[in-house]
Amino acid sequence: MEDSKVPVPKGKQVIGVIDELVGWAHAKVRCFDGKIRICRVPKKFSKKIWLVRGGYVLVDPWEIEGDKKGDIIYSYTDTEVEWLRKHGYIKPEENL
């Protein structure tokens, strides 16, 4: 898989794992910065992102209440998760 094809965290973005689906395109996400956030899928991404418990996602924390809330901007496939592990974006202790 090419490097440019897999979205990686930029700026304040962080990778996380979906712990629980809470409905209405919202999920409780355990982020790799140590915080648990209630995240939503923005309307412009709603047709492209499928939420699954245990799935890896790219989270963009909000400006206000960023420690508690954020937007899910990408959902990783299994192949992309393996690429992220291989390139050090997901560390072994962060696996499920």
Answer whether residue 12 is part of any domain.
yes
pLDDT at 94 over 70: no
Number of domains in the chain: 1
Pairwise CA distance, residues 39 & 7, whole Å: 18
Residue 96 is assigned to a structural domain of this protein = no
Per-residue pLDDT at 58 exceeds 60: yes
User: Which structural domain range is residue 77 located in?
Assistant: 3-90
Q: Would 13 be classed as within a structural domain?
A: yes
Cα distance between residue 26 and residue 42, in whole Å: 10
Q: How is residue 94 written in tokens?
A: 């962060």
Find the mean pLDDT for residues 31-45.
96
pLDDT bracket for residue 70 (50, 70, 90): very high
CATH of the domain at 82: 2.40.50.140
Has residue 57 been placed in a domain? Answer: yes
SS3 of 18, please?
A: strand
Per DSSP, the residues of 1-12 read: --GGGS----TT
Q: Does the residue 29 lie in any domain? A: yes
For residue 95, being part of any structural domain is answered with no
Please check whether residue 83 lies inside any domain of the structure: yes
pTM of the model: 0.91
Q: Is the pLDDT of residue 10 over 60?
A: yes
Does 82 reside within a domain?
yes
